[in-house]
Each structure stands twice: as C-alpha cells, then as structure tokens.
Amino acid sequence: MNIEPQGSISAQVSQIVISVDAMGGDKGPAAVVAGLDLFLASRPDAQILLHGNQDVLNGLVAALAAKDRITIIHAQDVVQMTDKPAQVIRTGKNTSMWSALDSVREGAAAACISCGNTGALMALSTMRLRRIEGVKRPAIACMWPSLNPSGFNILLDAGADLKADAPDLLNYAFMGASYARNGLGLTLPRVGLLNVGTEEHKGRAELREAHDLLTAAQEAGGFDYVGFVEGGDIPMSTVDVIVTDGFTGNVALKTGEGTARLVAKMLRDMFGTNILSKLAAILAYGALKKFRHQMDPRRVNGGVFLGLNGTVVKSHGSSDATSFAAAISQAYDLAKMNFTDRVAARLATSASFTAGLDSAEPATATD
C-alpha cells in the first residue's frame, strides 16, 4: 500500500518499531521471517520485535541480512486457528499473539501485526489496547480492488463484529474516511452505506437512521456521503468507502475472494484448451499479467483494526512472504503517520453527532 500522509506528521522519528506475532499463520514462522526479510530491505528505519518460540526463530533470523534490526522475544505458546476467543483471553497470556500486543500496549512498538486467529486477535486487541473513547464496536477495514484511480476501495466492517447499530455505522464512516485520506491520498473520500437498494425507504431501521446521521455528519467527518449503495458498487468507481456491519461485510469479502479465484481458474482453463487458445494466451500475455497484478490479493494483504488505542493489522492466515511483507508495510506506514491519534481525533467529533445533532461543531482535526 502506498500511503501519502496528509498534513503535518508528528510521528516522523528515526526508528519505527513494529511488533510481529511470528507463530500464528498457516505457513508457520518461516513465511513470516521471509516476509520480514523482504520488508526490511526497503525500510532502513524499521525495527522488529519478533514474538514466538526463540528456539525456532533463532535459526530463521540468523540467516537474514537485517538480523541486527530484529529482537526476538520468547513466547512459548501459540494461538491456534481453532481456539475460541474466550479461551484465548482466559489462558493465552504466554502466547506470541498476547506478547506482540503487549509490546504496543507498553509503548515499546508503534504497531502490531499477526496472521493468526482473527477472532482471538480482535478479542485480545480489544482487551489489551482498549477501545478509543466513543467506540462500542471496533471494525476491520480492508482494501478492495476497484475501478477508482487508486485501484482500491475500502470496506468496513469486514468481520470484527456481526452487529452494528446506527452510531456504530457512523463511527465506521469516520474511521473509514480517515483511512481513505491517509491510505489512498483522497482529500474528500466518498462514503456509501451498503443496503439492499439505493432508495431512502429501503433497508432496516438502523440503516435508515445511520443514513440520516451520515448525511448530517459528512462535513464534520471530512467526507462526501453519497447515500445508500448496493453490492454491485463495491468494486466500482462510484464510492471510495463502503460502510456495513461485520456480518454483511465478511460475506461480501469472502464472496469477492471466491469470485476472483473462479475467474482466475476459468481463464486458465480457457487459455489451455487447445493450440489456438494457448496462442491467444501468448498474444494476450501483457494484458493478462496486468490483470493478475491488479487482482493479486497479496498486494493489499492486511485488514486494519480501527477504533482501538493502537495500530493492529491482521494479515491473512495463509500469507506467504510477499503478502506478509505487504501487510507489515501497511502497519509500518500507518504507525509512521501516527494514524491511531488521527482516528481518535475524528471519533471525538463523531460522538457529538450521536449525542445530539444540534450540538455538533465541525471538526478541527486534520488527518
């Protein structure tokens, strides 16, 4: 992700420290360490706190050129993908995930990244870092390939909480717009509220209530509210930020991932049918390579947890070195621009709208 900071950046420091959970992914710590090697090669001011079993990690890190910028912090246990969040909260104090989050909590690191259990990571992040004042439900924001000039839209919530009432959706709009300004370089992001139709009378009561809140709050939130949008608008150029509840957002995300795999397989099958189709594939190689690059999920691997007192990025469980490097670059960029403080400043304005529209004043925060 190429982040263009807006305004003055208070986090321009000589070293950016990122806390990494090395143990939670499907491919094991070897993929994480390989991703760190790619990341550190292009970020000379980055330092890593690597959490996990030191007996496993010592050998992997020793071979890296940037090993002097990695500090291994021993954590004996691992959060498994099958573990329940409540179980991890009760018994997970010695896990690499818990240890990685505590480095952010204690101020030793500016951001945390993990490719482990999503539910456990959100539960532990909420418990250890706490929610920003005014946030009842944190959200996961993800980048979605689109026809916009940036190549992406932002969707939230992508699965942090299955429910969301009108004040939650308003908070999501404020947080998503802030992410779009900093992550996509957009001065006035267009925000849409996902619904079953674009007419104002459509949808559940909380959606119609959120529609009124977003209409009134768009100036204070620094976004252009375009109204209700439908599922077909998610990859289009009509909107920059799509706001929805976690249940709907996660279903949309998984559907999109499955559709991308289907299209890729169909193209492979079609171009491999016979000699003529293989010849056509050769002739179309440049266009197909560009298409593959644009649709490659590894470029934007990483869902950002918004609404917490600390930056947390969730990398995909099956991340390879390339995708993990992209996710940690995302965490690095957000930490460097002090993104959490920017979101908190915007959310202070959002609270005034849920307390009473008439008392709200336009925001003075810059993000």
SS3 per residue for the chain: CCCCCCCCCCCCCCCEEEEEECCCCCCCHHHHHHHHHHHHHCCCCEEEEEEECHHHHHHHHHCCCCHHHEEEEECCECCCCCCCHHHHHHHCCCEHHHHHHHHHHCCCCCEEEECCCHHHHHHHHHHHHCECCCCCCCEEEEEEECCCCCCEEEEECCCCCCCCCHHHHHHHHHHHHHHHHHHCCCCCCEEEEECCCCCCCCCCHHHHHHHHHHHHHHHHHCCEEEEEECHHHCCCCCCCEEECCHHHHHHHHHHHHHHHHHHHHHHHHHHCCCHHHHHHHHHCHHHHHHHHHHHCHHHHCCEEEECECCEEEECCCCCCHHHHHHHHHHHHHHHHCCHHHHHHHHHHHHHHHHHCHHHCCCCCCCC
* Confidence (pLDDT) at 350: 73
Q: Which two tokens stand for residue 205?
A: 């009561």
Q: What is the mean pLDDT of residues 283-312?
A: 73
Please say if the pLDDT value at position 363 is more than 50.
Answer: no
Q: How far apart are CA 366 and CA 8, in angstroms?
A: 9
Please say if the pLDDT value at position 64 is more than 70.
Answer: yes
- Tens-place pLDDT, residues 248-287: 998 988 888 788 778 778 877 777 777 877 777 677 767 6
Q: What is the mean pLDDT of residues 94-112?
A: 96
**0.85 exceeded by the pTM?**
no
Q: Which two tokens stand for residue 192?
A: 């849409």
* Confidence (pLDDT) at 362: 43
Question: Which segment of 12-26, 83-97, 154-168 scores lowest on mean pLDDT?
Answer: 12-26
* Confidence (pLDDT) at 48: 97
* Confidence (pLDDT) at 10: 36
Please say if the pLDDT value at position 87 is more than 90.
Answer: yes
Q: How far apart are CA 339 and CA 331, in angstroms?
A: 10
pLDDT, averaged across the chain: 86
Question: Is residue 186 within 8 Å of 221, Cβ to Cβ?
Answer: no
Q: How far apart are CA 335 and CA 12, in angstroms?
A: 10
Q: Which two tokens stand for residue 219?
A: 């100036």
> Phi/psi at 171 (nearest 5 deg)?
-60, -40
Instruction: Give the HSE-up count for residue 96: Cα atoms under 13 Å, Cβ half-sphere.
Output: 30
**Gyration radius of the chain's alpha carbons:** 21
13 vs 252, higher pLDDT: 252
